Structures are given as structure tokens and as C-alpha cells.
Amino acid sequence: MAIQLLKGKVVLKSLIAKDTFVLRLMVDGIESFDFQPGQFVTITVAPNVKRSYSIASIPGKDHIELIADTVRGGPGSQFFVNVKEGDIVEFLFPLGMFFYKESERPVYFFGTGTGLVPLISMVEYALTTLKTARKVVFYAGFRHLEEVFSKEQLELLDIKFENLTFALNLTQPPEDWTMGIGRITQYIDTLKEKDIDVYICGSQQMVIDVKDRLIAKGVPKEQIYHEMF
């Protein structure tokens, strides 16, 4: 799909985790958004100021959803804090070369924080739209429980699709936490497969660490795709 400059209405704004918002945008005349899962939009967040955000929803819907944390407090954060339902937002769509590619190989996803956003779109699209039969493994990591978002959505997919394994880790969990503890890089230590596709998104250091460990394990570097936040 050609890149377009669009004006969308904010039809939903919700706080979904600590300092983290989801926005739903609809555009007059667009009944089905066409993009590659994993792509992003660039929003005009202030006069002459633009910021980019991955699309959390999947293609084929009459809206797109964006998720962003506002911890940094910059122009993008202030935009997400202050924007209201009914506001009109100008954005470029769709952008980016980090997107899902179907194959028969097992596929692994490694995401931390808001780096989960494009991966959520990829996983949901592969399972629900493409009806992929490949093995899908999604490792998600956060520091604290209050930062976690989309947990229920991913758990429901895990229940519905036998070929999906979803693991959520916290590095600083509460005492009653019963799921994974520690960094998601620990799962690479027990990885037996080498001929796999891998998608990584998160902080620069996390992406580099995961990529280097996978290559050291024998995963072909041309089958490793990543985006740094």
C-alpha cells in the first residue's frame, strides 16, 4: 500500500497499564486498513514535531490501534497524555520494513515493554487471519506487573491456538507472581532449534543481546528480524 498522509479521529483512548495508553483511530472513507503487521505510523504530535508508533491492531479492520508509554515525558508522551476522544490526528501510514513473513519454519518472538506492540499485531495476524500452522512462540518481558499490557489478549490466543506458546516474564515481580521471572534472554539457553525465524523488538541493548545469543546458537542471521525502540 502506498504511503498516505491521513487525518484520523480518536474514537477510543484508554489507560491500559502504568503510564501506557492505547489510541484507536478511524479515518473517513477507510473501511479496511491495509498494511503489513509490524509496520508503524508517524504522527504529528505538535507543530513541526513528528513521532513514530507501531500499529498494535491487525490489517483488515476499520480502525488502527496504537500503544505508547509516556514515561519519557517528551512531545510524543505529552501528545498521548493530552489527546482526547474526538480529536483529529494527522499521520503518515503505513511505514517500515519490519513486518511478518509467513513460512513453514517455527517462529519465535522476543519483545520487551512497548516493543511488544508490533509483535502482537504479527502474532494475532498469523494465527487468526493466515491460520498459520507453524509453531509460534512469544516471549514477553516487563520489569513490573503494573507495566504489563495485552496479557489477557495473548493468553486467550494461547488457549485458542495449540501451536502458540506464550510466556510472560517480569524482572522485578511481586511476591505472589506465578509466571516467569527474569530476562527473556534466558529462554535462548535452552533453545534446541536452529532453523527458525525470529522477530525481536525492544530496547537497543535487548535486541543486540538476543540477536547475538541466537547467532551464537546457530540461528541464521538472515532469519532474524528486529526493530529497536
pLDDT single digits (tens) 207-223: 999 999 999 999 999 99
What was the pLDDT predicted at 1? 67
Cα distance between residue 93 and residue 98, in whole Å: 14
Average pLDDT of 180-197?
96
- Global pTM reads 0.95
Instruction: Kindly report, as residue ranges, where domains of CATH 2.40.30.10 are found in the chain.
Output: 4-95
Distance CA 139, CA 187 (A): 8
Cis before 220 (ω within 30):
no
Give whole-number Cα distances, 91 to 50, 56, 59, 77, 159, in Å: 9, 15, 17, 16, 35
Q: Give residue 73's pLDDT band: very low, low, confident or very high (50, 70, 90).
A: confident
How many residues comprise the chain?
229
169 contacts 141 by C-beta, under 8 angstroms: yes
- CATH T-level fold of 107-228: Rossmann fold (3.40.50)
The span from the CA of 134 to the CA of 39, in Å, is 22
The residue-averaged pLDDT of 70-91 equals: 95
Whether 112 has a pLDDT exceeding 90, the answer reads yes
**Amino acid identity for residue 158 in this structure:** D
Task: Give just the sign of the alpha carbon dihedral 98, 226, 59, 47.
Answer: negative
Helix ranges, the chain (H): 75-82, 116-124, 151-160, 204-217
Q: Stretch 112-141: mean pLDDT, rounded?
A: 98
Domain 4-95 is of which CATH architecture? Answer: Beta Barrel (2.40)
For the chain, residues classed under CATH 3.40.50.80 are 107-228
Q: According to DSSP H, which parts of 83-141 are helical?
A: 116-124
Mean pLDDT, range 24-45, rounded to an integer:
96
Question: Does 75 score more than 90 pLDDT?
Answer: yes
Q: Read off the pLDDT of each residue in 182-196 and give the average, rounded to a whole number.
A: 95
Please report, for residues 7, 32, 65, 147, the alpha-carbon distance to residue 28 in angstroms, rounded to integers and kept in the order given: 8, 11, 16, 33
Res. 72: pLDDT tops 90 = no
